[in-house]
């Protein structure tokens, strides 16, 4: 029984890691597309202040979103692990 639970937990963890990786890649692609759009709308100038601030803000926003997604996933894993361990004891 323990081996089966371990296998199921391992498979779930692998799916979760794959999902997180996919989310991070999607977020990076979205930022790349955003930067391309900003480059088209605000061509690179000698004074790159506003353009740079917009792009930096997009990267910070993406980083926050990815970190939040990762934290949610970590919480799910911890809750699931606690639930499985509680089932095994009870």
The ranges assigned to domains in the chain are 2-89
CA distance 32 to 58: 10
Token pair listed for 5: 């639970």
Secondary structure letter of residue 59 according to DSSP: H
Q: What angle do CA 26, 30, 36 make, to 5 degrees?
A: 145
pLDDT tens, N- to C-terminus, the chain (90 residues): 567 766 777 787 788 888 888 888 898 899 889 888 988 887 776 566 788 888 889 889 988 988 898 888 888 888 887 777 776 665
């Amino acid at each position: 029984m323990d081996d089966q639970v371990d296998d199921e937990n391992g498979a779930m963890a692998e799916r979760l890691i794959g999902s997180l990786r996919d989310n991070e890649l999607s977020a990076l692609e979205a930022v790349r597309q955003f930067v391309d759009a900003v480059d088209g709308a605000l061509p690179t100038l000698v004074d790159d202040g506003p353009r740079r601030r917009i792009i930096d803000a997009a990267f910070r926003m993406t980083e926050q979103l990815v970190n939040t997604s990762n934290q949610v996933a970590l919480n799910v894993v911890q809750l699931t692990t606690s639930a499985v361990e509680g089932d095994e004891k009870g």
